[in-house]
A and B are shown apart, each in its own frame.
Chain A
């Protein structure tokens, strides 16, 4: 350094996301305007909210001093429905989603099969469980059977999609090696694909079991059986201590499922 150079004394971090200043300002302004409009669309009846605080407090009390006994018959019935629904729908979902998942994998299925299976997946994923439950309850009547169908249908979209992605991500060289031995399509699936995706499939199924239980608590609200119906009734009757008990049971079961599934997953791998 022969001549001392003069260095800038200020520095501003270059914008990361929207590099064009005009656009950036426009986007920020747009976001602000949207927020103001959105807030205004919420009409709050403050008096009602004020009255509700009292009830809210009662609910907190109910949650802290849950009453398991008074409605135990209803609770246990709903719980059994929820749990049986969860198990059967998950099993059925897995059984159906394995072939659909294979059919939706580009590296294994011919084009017509691929498109058909992808269509089923898209259909299943586009609608909320509750909306499917509404339709199925209308067709099959109230009760856990409609709930079972709902959860199985939703599981198919979830599991097949992830399974198909897994198969597509499979190591090509292993598939080709097996194919090169002159193996049939079935043997390729059995020897090259199955070992690679099996642990993931177990993990995903356990995860879906967890989701199905949580959803089983919701679709009861529209008549598809399960603990959700019991919960709905309890809240309608303002029996917050029973409602608190149900919520605590749900949380406890989710915790148990989560812990045991992480245990099983470690055991499988």
Chain B
């Protein structure tokens, strides 16, 4: 059963940049999808079109039977609360406490008055505590978000997204601002959370190694078009060249092999292209 279906999704920005060109694919329940591609390929645009932070120009986005591209106002907000999102720069509200940040995942469900008074239902609160425990932050719930380290902030970001009880998780370069070790921990946390909940996810990531290790399927994007769609094991040098252009992939992979800590992020180079 497919949870999400993109059909000929296109986006042309007001500046004339065509960021997405007729992208179509489907995501079945429980699948963790890695979206890779060079900088400017349209990865962020694709993810943001799904929850309509960016308005798609054409095409349809079907989530559990509704076409998200057509929604407006309250209906759009009801659709957004079904989709959790994790951001590259964490995008926590810095001056709010960790708990408020996590509880803000329920904003689509509670009334303005209750959210203003921070009076959430017992279920919401106990779920927030349990999520914080799950991401390893049970002690920090009353700290302000800007008092946390990068890795800790991203954990709060994950908890906020899961607090929504989402049907779909959108993740935009979750590890781009983190060190290699923390990156793996965060990816593992996201992967485990998805498997536990049978939650489909689209993870936008520029690190091919991490993508291969933690996802079930890879889609390669280049200049707004899908140029690869297959299992992680299908990422041959030929495919990588198709996605990123010419590079000596074998050598870079050799350097990377098995190395957990000292890492030359192969595709970080591709970011500069």
A/B touching: CB–CB < 8 A: yes
Interface hit among B127-135, B220-228, B253-261: B127-135
Cα A1 to Cα B133 with chains together (Å): 9
Whether B241 sits at the interface, judged by CB under 8 Å, is no
Question: Chain B 99-143, CB within 8 Å of chain A: the 1/0 string?
Answer: 110010000000000000010101101111110011000000110
Q: Are B133 and A11 in contact (CB under 8 A)?
A: no
6 extra A-B contacts, CB within 8 A, seeds A8-B129, A10-B122, A11-B141: A5-B133, A8-B126, A11-B120, A11-B125, A11-B128, A13-B118
Closest B residue to A8 by beta carbon equals B129
A167 CB to closest chain B CB, in angstroms? 33
Q: Give the A interface residue count (CB, 8 A).
A: 10
Q: Give the B interface residue count (CB, 8 A).
A: 18
Closest B residue to A13 by beta carbon equals B118
Q: Which residues of A contact B99 (CB under 8 A)?
A: 11, 13
Cα A1 to Cα B135 with chains together (Å): 12
Q: Are B118 and A7 in contact (CB under 8 A)?
A: no
Closest A residue to B133 by beta carbon equals A5
A12 CB to closest chain B CB, in angstroms? 7
Q: Are A13 and B122 in contact (CB under 8 A)?
A: no
Closest B residue to A12 by beta carbon equals B118
Which B residues have a C-beta under 8 Å from some C-beta of A? 97, 99-100, 103, 118, 120, 122-123, 125-130, 133-134, 141-142
Closest B residue to A10 by beta carbon equals B125
Name A127-162 residues within 8 Å CB distance of B.
none
Secondary structure dominating the interface of B: helix
Please judge, given known A-B contacts A9-B122, A9-B125, whether A14 and B130 are in contact too, CB under 8 Å: no
Q: Are B142 and A14 in contact (CB under 8 A)?
A: yes
Question: Chain A 1-44, CB within 8 Å of chain B: the 1/0 string?
Answer: 10001011111111000000000000000000000000000000
A18 CB to closest chain B CB, in angstroms? 16
Q: Are A9 and B97 in contact (CB under 8 A)?
A: no
Cα A12 to Cα B97 with chains together (Å): 11
Q: Which residues of B contact A1 (CB under 8 A)?
A: 133-134
Q: Which residues of A contact B126 (CB under 8 A)?
A: 7-9
Q: Which residues of B contact A12 (CB under 8 A)?
A: 118
B178 CB to closest chain A CB, in angstroms? 24
Q: Which residues of A contact B100 (CB under 8 A)?
A: 13
Which A residues have a C-beta under 8 Å from some C-beta of B? 1, 5, 7-14
Q: Which residues of B contact A5 (CB under 8 A)?
A: 130, 133
Cα A225 to Cα B122 with chains together (Å): 69
B89 CB to closest chain A CB, in angstroms? 24
Q: Which residues of B contact A8 (CB under 8 A)?
A: 125-126, 129
Cα A40 to Cα B127 with chains together (Å): 49
A10 CB to closest chain B CB, in angstroms? 6
Q: Are A14 and B97 in contact (CB under 8 A)?
A: yes
A13 CB to closest chain B CB, in angstroms? 5
Q: Enumerate the 6 nearest inter-chain pairs by beta-carbon distance, A residue then B residue, closest first.
A: A9-B122, A7-B129, A7-B126, A9-B126, A11-B125, A13-B118
Cα A266 to Cα B102 with chains together (Å): 43
Cα A49 to Cα B60 with chains together (Å): 62
A225 CB to closest chain B CB, in angstroms? 49
Q: Which residues of A contact B125 (CB under 8 A)?
A: 7-11
Cα A5 to Cα B97 with chains together (Å): 23
Q: Which residues of B contact A14 (CB under 8 A)?
A: 97, 142
B126 CB to closest chain A CB, in angstroms? 4
B216 CB to closest chain A CB, in angstroms? 24
A128 CB to closest chain B CB, in angstroms? 36
Cα A9 to Cα B124 with chains together (Å): 8
Q: Which residues of A contact B120 (CB under 8 A)?
A: 11
5 cross-chain CB contacts under 8 A: A7-B125, A7-B133, A8-B126, A11-B128, A14-B142
A223 CB to closest chain B CB, in angstroms? 50
Closest B residue to A4 by beta carbon equals B130
Closest A residue to B127 by beta carbon equals A7
Cα A14 to Cα B100 with chains together (Å): 11
Q: Which residues of A contact B134 (CB under 8 A)?
A: 1
Q: Which residues of B contact A9 (CB under 8 A)?
A: 122-123, 125-126
B110 CB to closest chain A CB, in angstroms? 14
